[in-house]
Homo-oligomer: A and B are copies of this chain.
Amino acid sequence: MGDVFKALADPTRRTILDELADRDDQTLFEICSRLLTKHQLDSTRQAISQHLDVLEAAGLIDVRREGRYKLHSINRGPLEHIVDRWLDRS
């Protein structure tokens, strides 16, 4: 089980979450191209793949295989209460 806070510490990973929040079930290549066109992030496929591994280990994304495609979706569960640790949401 990975660390949610450490997963969120990287700006590229946060941008990946932004894209997955905008559209579910994206493949690795879709994410790469959207990062490039919409955010000028020209990271390599392997770099993004490793970011996705970190996000998955932290439970922040769900992964589903569909033939030769691997579809990624955001999982907002871990985000729900991580900050309530210091906030009294009364």
Contacts and interface: CB of A to CB of B under 8 A. Distances in A.
Interface in A1-23: 3, 5-6, 8-9, 11, 14, 17-18, 21
Contacts of A6: 9
Contacts of A74: 86
Given A5-B5, A6-B9, A9-B8, A83 B79 contact: yes
24 contacts: A3-B9, A3-B11, A5-B5, A5-B8, A5-B9, A5-B14, A6-B9, A8-B8, A8-B9, A9-B9, A14-B85, A17-B86, A18-B85, A18-B86, A21-B86, A74-B86, A76-B86, A76-B87, A79-B83, A79-B86, A79-B87, A80-B87, A82-B83, A83-B83
